[in-house]
Amino acid sequence: MVDNDKNKKQEECNDEAQAKWSCPPIRNVTHPLRYYEFTQEEIKALEECDKESFYQRCLPFSSVFAAITYAGVKNGILRRNPHFGAAPKVMFAAFIGYSFGRLSYISECDLKLRHLPADSNLGKIMRQYYLQNNPAKNSK
């Protein structure tokens, strides 16, 4: 039953007069890098970026933001939640610090990926992207 309905709709879409109004356009939805396999060097560089960004940026920023927020609540600069106390504001500050830490490390990770070996496809893509978006650096 379902196959008959499917075949009927396909026949309707094959008719060009009907297809113009009732059938969606046919698109290729598969991205060319969907099945890309990372090399060991690329995986190692990405893992280092993840680890270094967490320990060097995320942890310090989230700790400082949370401590400042807690001090603000404790000293009456910020109002505490009547039910939960300082916890929502402190957790939000820690999340903002974590996000800020991740975002602030993007340039370091970009540099690390651009210095991958010449046979690395990811390194080649990152170098091309950098040269396209920084024309002043291209002339050096």
Residue 136 has pLDDT above 90, yes or no: no
Phi-psi region of 128 (alpha: psi -120 to 50; beta: other; left: phi over 0): alpha
Domain ranges in the chain are 52-138
Model pLDDT for residues 27-83, shown as the tens digit of each residue: 666 766 677 788 899 899 999 999 999 999 999 999 999 999 999 999 988 888 888
What burial class does residue 54 get, using C-beta atoms within 10 Å of its C-beta: 0-12 exposed, 13-18 middle, 19+ buried? middle
Residue 103 has pLDDT above 90, yes or no: yes
Question: Where do runs of H (alpha helix) occur along the chain?
Answer: 2-14, 16-22, 40-53, 59-74, 87-104, 106-114, 121-133, 135-138
Residue type, 100: F
Mean pLDDT of 18-34: 64
Output the pLDDT for position 21: 61
Structure tokens at 49: 């970026």
